[in-house]
Amino acid sequence: MDDVALARAIHVAAVVLWIGGVGFVTTVLLPAVRASETPETRVALFEALEGRFSWQARVTTLLTGASGLYLVEALDAWERFGDPTQWWMHAMVLVWLLFTVALFVAEPLVLRRWYARATKEDPDRALRLIARLHVVALTLSLVTVLGAVAGSHGFSP
Ligand code: HEM
């Protein structure tokens, strides 16, 4: 079972770096950026800082998915997906899918163009929408973390 312990350690470390970063961007970076001087400074600051995080988010998302898949197979936990009391298994896959589509598909194909246009037209509105989406993503992620830790350590409502 050493491989399961190692995979779980990698899984949790990747989740901490990833969701911790989402928490920082949502609760510290975006509010600070939105309160800064001019709309142009706000957009430039957000791009410079969040741009660095998006690479970290890509790597940690891949690591979380790979270690998670390994855990499902090693624990032979596939039948949990048919059990509604193990909703946190579905939540983990859902959160992972949402971020994977956002980071690897939507961002390069759609979001970058939308962002360039929207920040030119109305920077404050664009940043407000981005902040709201981050709050939704962070809330879903935290509910998932709570469910996954409690559920995988025996809590069953
Ligand atoms: C493809 C995506 C994912 C898969 C297949 C997956 C699978 C798993 C599995 C099989 C476990 C072990 C459960 C057990 O020991 O009984 C686990 C644990 C866990 N996962 Fe995921 N996971 C994925 C994504 C995520 C995401 C996105 C998050 C966070 C938002 C997350 C957070 C956790 C946490 C906090 C634990 C509990 C670790 C512990 O306390 O031992 N996982 N995951």
What is the structure's pLDDT at 1?
A: 66
C-alpha to C-alpha distances, 141 to 5, 47, 98, 112, 127, nearest whole angstrom: 22, 23, 10, 23, 21
Please tell me the distance from the alpha carbon of residue 21 to that of residue 77, in angstroms, as a whole number.
29
* Ligand 1 center–CA 27 separation, angstroms: 24
| Ligand 1 nearest-atom number relative to CA 142 | 30
Which two tokens mark 108? Answer: 């390069």
Q: Using a 6 Å CB cutoff, which residues line ligand 1?
A: 8, 11-12, 15, 19, 64-65, 68-69, 71-72, 75, 77, 92-93, 95-96, 141, 144-145, 148-149, 152
C-alpha to C-alpha distances, 122 to 76, 125, 128, nearest whole angstrom: 50, 6, 10
Beta carbons of 4 and 119 less than 8 angstroms apart: no
Please tell me the distance from the alpha carbon of residue 90 to that of residue 115, in angstroms, as a whole number.
31
* Ligand 1 center–CA 125 separation, angstroms: 35
DSSP state of 76: T
Please tell me the distance from the alpha carbon of residue 139 to that of residue 95, in angstroms, as a whole number.
10
Nearest residue (by CA) to ligand 1, atom 34, is 148
pTM to 2 decimal places: 0.94
Q: For the chain, which residues score pLDDT lower than 70?
A: 1
